[in-house]
Structure 1
Amino acid sequence: MEDILICLSPRQLAFIALRDVHKGAYADIALDRVLQKANLPDTDRRLVTELVYGCTRRQRTLDALIDQLGKKKSHQQPKDLRTILHLGLYQLRYQERIPESAAVNTTVQLAKENGFSGLTGFVNGLLRQYIREVSKVGGEKTSYPDPLKLPKNPEERLGILYSFPDWIIQVWVEQFGLAQTEQLCLWMNKTPAIDLRVNLLRTSTEEVAAALTSVGVLCQRVPHLPQALRLISNAGSIQNLPGYHEGWWTVQDSSAQLVSHLLDPQPGEVVIDACAAPGGKTTHIAELMRDEGKIVACDRTPSRLVKLQKNAQRLKLKSIEISTGDSRNLPYQNTAHRVLVDAPCSGLGTLHRHADARWRQTPETVEELSVLQKELLSQTSSFVKPGGILVYSTCTLHPKENEEVVSSFLAENPNWEIEPPSVDSPASAYSTPQGWIKVLPHQQNMDGFFMVRLQQFSGK
């Protein structure tokens, strides 16, 4: 199988990965599987990645187009044929640099190579009909006065146009309104940026920026965050960038960096990271503490803790101790000055990074997660010493996992209160009147995040 994959075209590799995704595989794992077995130049690797992630993200829109252009509905076609049509339509609709003739011809070739020789005329006809319809209405790939017919219902319209389930659109519209939700959808369909967090115990942001520039990788500072650099040009393999093996930096989105600043750990303290793996925030806490004190990194998945250990070793951090187990059952009562609960969540703030997450999450999984989050917050609050700090965070934009979890906790624990970030904290720039932080991607140009700092006090 490996020898066969090495010889395949980028579009055939994308087809193989997408076929696995439609059978239930995670998109990143399916993509990695084919890329590891194919010796491709960087341009072809980028094409395979774009096609796999793009077709996965946009599948609702692509299915709607197939339904409108074809005689059979998308769900009535063989899955592999539908995947081939997805690849063709995605290139025509969303890829400006791919000529229409190349998109059509390579898709017809895919049909031939994958058992649909008798349907090449259908594939060719459907794609060319799309091109004719675009020409008829004067549309371009970057704007959408095109063949896609949209319903009048505004939420369903956004769901089909930007390829999201209706329930996610509804959750966002209830919070932000239609216009803001549309901007959020646009942002979530962009290629995600890569942010680095510079390890100031080893180097400086200026030194890392200069090293990156020396190899042709452009970067820029992120406002309010002293350790953050955003890559603004193609970086290639991250592990080949200068400073990686020396522990100068790690990859971490800017909004995730805000969480540890909100926690504000101090040198010499005991800190518990209750849901630590794979360790981005754990290692950031250690850096902020100058690697002085003790950080207990808890997680119930040993394999994920191995990644944390390797990252800590690469960053040359020694203050982190590993604790394997579910934080709802660990015996750390009254032991920590500060506790971080970066809770498992639906990830609705990071859908641009996880192409298939919008299709995997459901209202039912959100309900289950909110129960878990409340249990975690309740139990880990007992880890905090009197007068200590507890930070709760998620990378989702769903009130049931954010505001409602915190409100429920405060109602049941009157000896806790919200403590807004201090004015000199990087997190203060994003604070809300309620005292918590809610990062909206389309406004702050970072992953969507919710975080709140809680302090225990006596006297009630």
Structure 2
Amino acid sequence: MTPRHLVLQMLARSRKKESFSGAILDDALTQAVGMSPVDKRLATHLFLGMIRREATLDAMMKPFSHRPLIEIQSEVRDLVRMGIYQIACMTQIPPHAAVYETVEIARAVNPRSLGFVNGVLRRITELVTDRKVYAPSEDALPMDDGHYRQLSRNLFPDPRRMPAEYLAEAFGWPFWLSRRRIAQLGWDSCLRQGFWFLTHPPLYLRVNRLKTTREAYMEMLTAANIAHEPATHPQAIRMIGGHNIRALPGYAEGLFAVQDESSIRVGSALSPKPGMRVLDLCAAPGGKTTHLAELMDNQGEIIACDIEADRLKSVSSLAERLGLACIQTQAIAKDGTPPDGPFDMALVDVPCSNTGVMGRRPELRNRLKPNELPHLVQLQTRLLEQAADRVKPGGVLVYSTCSIEPEEDGLLARAFPKLRPEWVIEADELTLPGRPSDGGYWARFRRQG
């Protein structure tokens, strides 16, 4: 199977909402036993890039289609999107090669579409130029390296008159989110986030402080000629370029865990001490849980919970690799009731809209709807209250999301003490997505008495 055929299969699965794109990709690449590493990288780039830029690819296809796109068979739309993405967004693939490869796939999977696929892609090769421009405009296609590629004709809405429409088509955001984000953060911030979300964020490692130091581990990376740099957090390292995580030095020995820097800051906000009893209410996949265990010097007890027992397997597996024995996993009861307290501290990393991590969750662009936010806030408030009920007086609770929506973040955090007057908010932090890391929010509360 070729990488492009594999991409079509993965896109079909994603369209059915079988899982997150990352899980679909991992499963497909695992099963593609005979595929070379180079072809796997191509499949990864195409699959994630096409999901991120679906709205943009459709905006480029639309002027050259004699039918509304909704009337075109989904497999044919994916074929054309694949060709457009290679021509317009992957400068390392010659346009004629992108056209040829896509037409050959069309010949194999849908011969009746040959004329349409070939015709649209030929027009796209005439549309795309090699000229770089550095400001948004109707003929400027954003590229993942931070500049724009000039088109031979106006294609997108005028960003000066219709900024939300431009973000939606040129950067591939949902229109409702584009309009909301401009009102919330302004145009310049939206452009920075737009470019950030066009590519997969960099890989961050959290050094296991119980087994090594950041300086010692960076020396190991340097000795192995692996590009990296220290991040802002004292346990974090930012990797440069793509890497096979399992092949990194010290993986089997548990010298590090993969965790974004914005996520590492959540554990530091809670800052549990050795010997404490800590509740982690939404623990899977375990990055924050294991960080708490390291901060506790592997002494004390962490009850790591999740509503799905299968998801807790990843927590146990990660804890075992890192050599952490103070973590006990526990599936939440069917009625949604967490384990009994009292606890010295609790972490509530709630299910959320994930709008701070759209680079890692590209399918959110097509799946997230504005009417979901009130339901999420209701769930988040309930989980926060459940955790609060189990923390003893004088104890600390940290609430966190990977969202940048005010309703899920600061507004909810400031409303909580009004519901529970015994709790006071001590600190909070909103991190906007963009260099150097993803976005998210945390708030630290203390129970009085």
1:255 aligns with 2:262: yes
Match of 1:106 among 91, 101, 110: 101
1:35 aligns with 2:44: no
Residue 137 of structure 1 deviates from its aligned partner by 8.6
2:207–2:214 contact (8 Å) kept in structure 1: yes
Secondary structure of the corresponding residue to residue 262 of structure 2 = helix
Correspondence for 2:137? none
Equivalences for residues 322-401 of structure 1 within 5 A: 322-325=329-332, 329-333=337-341, 335-401=342-408
1:445 aligns with 2:436: yes
Correspondence for 1:133? 127
1:16 aligns with 2:4: no
Correspondence for 1:180? 189
Structure 2 CA distance, aligned partners of 1:135 and 1:196? 38
Correspondence for 1:143? 148
The answer to which of 162-171 and 250-259 deviates more is 162-171
1:18–1:30 contact (8 Å) kept in structure 2: no
Identity %: 35
1:345–1:401 contact (8 Å) kept in structure 2: yes
Secondary structure of the corresponding residue to residue 441 of structure 1 = coil
- 1:52-91 Cα shifts (integer Å, max 9, x gaps): 0000111111111111122122211111110000100001
Match of 1:49 among 44, 49, 53: 44
Structure 2 CA distance, aligned partners of 1:131 and 1:330? 57
The answer to which of 13-22 and 276-285 deviates more is 13-22
Unaligned runs of at least 5 residues, structure 1: 1-7, 421-435
- 1:377-403 Cα shifts (integer Å, max 9, x gaps): 112111111111111000001111112
Match of 2:224 among 215, 225, 248: 215
1:167 aligns with 2:176: yes
Correspondence for 1:424? none
Residue 331 of structure 1 deviates from its aligned partner by 4.4
Structure 1 CA distance, aligned partners of 2:130 and 2:411? 49
- 1:307-329 Cα shifts (integer Å, max 9, x gaps): 10111111111111122105951
1:217–1:233 contact (8 Å) kept in structure 2: no
Aligned-residue CA RMSD (Å): 1.9
1:122 aligns with 2:116: yes
| Structure 1 residues 418 and 136, CA gap change in structure 2 (3 angstroms) | closer
- 1:28-75 Cα shifts (integer Å, max 9, x gaps): 233233322222222111100000000011111111111112212221
| Structure 1 residues 220 and 161, CA gap change in structure 2 (3 angstroms) | same
Aligned residues: 431
Structure 2 CA distance, aligned partners of 1:15 and 1:354? 19
Structure 2 CA distance, aligned partners of 1:456 and 1:29? 39
Structure 1 CA distance, aligned partners of 2:130 and 2:325? 64
Q: What amino acid maps onto 2:343 in structure 1?
A: A
Q: What amino acid maps onto 1:200 in structure 2?
A: R
Q: What amino acid maps onto 2:369 in structure 1?
A: T
Correspondence for 1:425? none
Scaled by the length of structure 2, what TM-score is found? Answer: 0.92
The answer to which of 206-215 and 67-76 deviates more is 206-215
| Structure 1 residues 14 and 331, CA gap change in structure 2 (3 angstroms) | closer
Scaled by the length of structure 1, what TM-score is found? Answer: 0.90
Structure 1 CA distance, aligned partners of 2:128 and 2:362? 26
